[in-house]
Structure 1
Amino acid sequence: MKRTAGFAVVAAMSIFALAGCSDNQGINAGTGALIGAAAGNQIGKGSGRTAATLVGAAVGTQVGAMQPTNKTCTFRNTQTGQTYQAPC
């Protein structure tokens, strides 16, 4: 039981740490899904392992997709020639 709880904590921390490594929301969601599925597979036992894997993937996808992206794009005003940066 302690091993499972410890792994769950490490997996949750990994989702938060790794899922936000990209400015691409799709990549973040995919990374979160993989980590969540791996965590669910380790936590589940017997016939519940498949369900735990699917739930872990779903939760990981949501956590990964919700990570903030800090990508900024440079735009140019064609009339004045000025450039400015704004979130993409």
Structure 2
Amino acid sequence: MMIKVAGLTVFMLASIGMVSGCSDNQGVNAGTGALLGAAAGSQVGKGSGRTAATLAGAAIGAQVGANQPTTRMCTYRNTQTGQTYQAAC
């Protein structure tokens, strides 16, 4: 049973970075990371230890989510030359 819980927790922690970086909004990414971290933390411990693990997971998840790089690209046009180029928004 402990191996199953540990495996699930590792999987959920690894997915925090992938899922929480799905938006270009840092606040949304932090919120998503906090939710996933809390879900992973709640799988660990018993009693007040579970509460502490849930809070720690939420804090770590929020930090990981907030630090995800944005990948959104915007197209800009030079008004003098008419040329377009892409750069990060």
TM-score range with shorter-chain normalisation?
0.7 to 0.9
SS at match of 1:75: strand
- How many residues are paired up? 88
Q: Distance in 2 between matches of 1:3 and 1:82?
A: 56
Which residues of 2 match residues 1-88 of structure 1 at below 5 A? Answer: 1-88=2-89
What is the TM-score with the length of structure 1 in the denominator? 0.83
- Alignment partners' CA distance in 1, 2:68 and 2:36: 14
SS at match of 1:42: coil
Percent identity over the alignment is 70
Kept in 2, the 8 Å contact 1:44–1:53? The answer is no
Q: Which runs of 5+ in 1 are unaligned?
A: none
RMSD over equivalenced CA pairs, Å: 1.6
**How far did 1:49 drift?**
1.8
SS in 2 for 1:85: strand
